[in-house]
Structure 1
């Protein structure tokens, strides 16, 4: 591991965060890390986005029905839908597929 020094390099910081997020070996460990890392509102926003992604992928609910059932803003729902279906990163898709393969196995 290289020596640690202050940086403003977003790519390096993101890489370091990803490394940290890969270390928990259980749900409880991940919950502890996320609770230390995020404010309650940040954690709620992340959890809501993940829930919306799963609803958009696994149901036929409209954006309005998802909003009415979750309270998540339609702007957030639209953004999650765009990242789920159109953006090249495909992070939501990869995670959903990985969880489905675990559930099927």
Structure 2
């Protein structure tokens, strides 16, 4: 896979991502992200991830909205990222599907 060059790339973000990659398990992730993000930011990320998983599984907007209390704007944005975005959702969704 070719290296991805983000329009957001910066030394500061590289440092944040290096910090995230240094975490060893879910417990460490909870500790780090509870300090790093607000509850609303974490809930928004969790909601977007669940929306991406459901869209990938073929669930309808209406069902996703009901399951996760997600607005159609959020669902549309995630779907647009799945279809035309940087490929990050697809990368992780595919990796999580592969048997170990």
Quote the offset at 1:76 in angstroms.
0.7
**TM-score, normalised by the number of residues in structure 1:** 0.82
Q: 2:59 aligns with which of 58, 61, 70?
A: 61
Distance across 2 between alignment mates of 1:61 and 1:50? 14
Cα displacement string for residues 10-48 of structure 1 (whole angstroms, at most 9, x for unaligned residues): 612211111111011111111111111110000000010
Quote the offset at 1:99 in angstroms.
1.2
**TM-score, normalised by the number of residues in structure 2:** 0.86
Cα displacement string for residues 77-103 of structure 1 (whole angstroms, at most 9, x for unaligned residues): 10001111212x1000111111112xx
Give the gaps of 5 or more residues in structure 1.
1-8
Structure 2 residue 64 is matched with structure 1 residue 98: no
- Over the aligned positions, Cα root-mean-square deviation in angstroms equals 1.5
The runs of at least 4 consecutive aligned structure 1 residues that moved more than 2 Å come to none
Match of 1:43 in 2: 42
Aligned with 2:10: secondary structure? helix
Distance across 1 between alignment mates of 2:74 and 2:15? 27
| Structure of higher CA gyration radius | 1
